[in-house]
Amino acid sequence: MITSFAPGRAELLGNHTDYNAGLVLSIAVDRGVRLTGTARADGKLLFRSRELGQAYEGSLDALAPSAEHPWANYLLGVFDEFRRRGLAIGGAELEIASNLPLGAGLSSSAALETSTAFWIQQAFGHALPPLELARIGQASEHRFVGVMCGLLDQISSIFGKAGHATFIDCRSFEVRNLPIPANAKFVIANSGVKHSLVASEYNQRRAACEAAAQAFGVPFLRDVDSRRLEAEGGALPPDVLKRARHIVGENERVAEAAGLLARGEAAAFGQLMFASHESSRVNFENSCPELDRLVEAARGTPGCLGARLSGGGFGGATINLVEAGAEAGLIAALEAAVPGTACLVTSAADGARIEA
């Protein structure tokens, strides 16, 4: 019996920067997905989701996305990626248990992919570099789920460290863990709003960023700074210019925020979170009225240092940076601002691992 565990993540700062070869700060949260099971020699794939009360049956020889059990695709895609890399694997019987709320902006999808990748490599005796495991999760999401995501979610789930933020340079893939000030806590507020077109909106934003980079003659928006953007961006279609403004601004904010964290300046860090949200609202247009109300409510709450949407956007969750002791007041304010909002307090936790 092998058990793997991978946590969810929260994006602290750096929105949609990952696929622009940019900078991002995240944490692994203290909840995640646990897979327990045994390898099978007959190539069968049997998955059971404890929370959904559903079972999937398939086989390694017929790996294809399942329309009937979309949740199984997060595992199937990972099995497929090991095979595409020519890595020998067998079948598996797995039970999935998760204490991560689904669709709450904590990337339960990457946690499931990462847990699967850790489980497979342990079961079939591989030892891939952690970054390669993250790439397997990302590629499986591209092929089996259809979201052209970057690497933020998977890297955060793998490289997270208790009490630390994870700083990721998505060009060099340098990953550093920076200590979080001891009295800073995180509240995740899940608005419960889920827009049906998230995948296509996400992919459209990515395409706009790529178009902007191309117009500047650079491989990625990471290569453009705000001075150049404002001096030369006038030739871009107005929407594309706004998308680029968000990415360029986010990269600059993350660079500044990493320095603030190193100096323990939580209040100034929080101001950058508010600025990030404002840019999502105005430039990237990946917020929604409910998330805007949550951020406004946070701004007016004593002890709340910063708030912004976390993750892809178009619904989902906000992350709030709050002084220890002010969590309950903040949660009450958020739940009053957007009825149906579900809040949880998390600290920064350790990344994925084999448990047994």
Catalytic residues: 153
Task: In whole angstroms, give the CA distance from residue 203 to residue 354.
Answer: 33
Antiparallel, parallel or unpaired: β 44-49 and 91-98: parallel
Show the tokens assigned to 34.
Answer: 């646990």
Binding residues vs ligand GLA (CB under 6 A): 11, 15-16, 18-19, 107, 149-150, 152-153, 311-312
- Report the residue closest to ligand GLA, judged by CB: 149
Residue 140 Cβ, how far from ligand GLA at the closest point, in Å?
12
- On the 0-12 / 13-18 / 19+ scale of CB atoms within 10 A, 355 is exposed
Q: Residue 124 and residue 40: Cα distance in Å, rounded?
A: 10
Alpha carbons 123 and 116: distance in angstroms, whole number:
10
Nearer to ligand GLA, 330 or 348 (CB): 348
Least separation in angstroms between residue 12's CB and ligand GLA is 11
CA dihedral of residues 130, 26, 286, 319 (deg, nearest 10): 140
- Minimum CB–partner distance for residue 138 and ligand GLA (Å): 8
Name the residue nearer to ligand GLA (CB basis): 2 or 193.
Answer: 193
Contacts of 85 (CB under 8 A, 6+ apart): 136
- Return the beta strands (E) in 1-53 as ranges: 2-13, 23-40, 44-49
First to last CA, the chain: 7
Q: Closest separation between CB of residue 11 and ligand GLA, Å?
A: 5
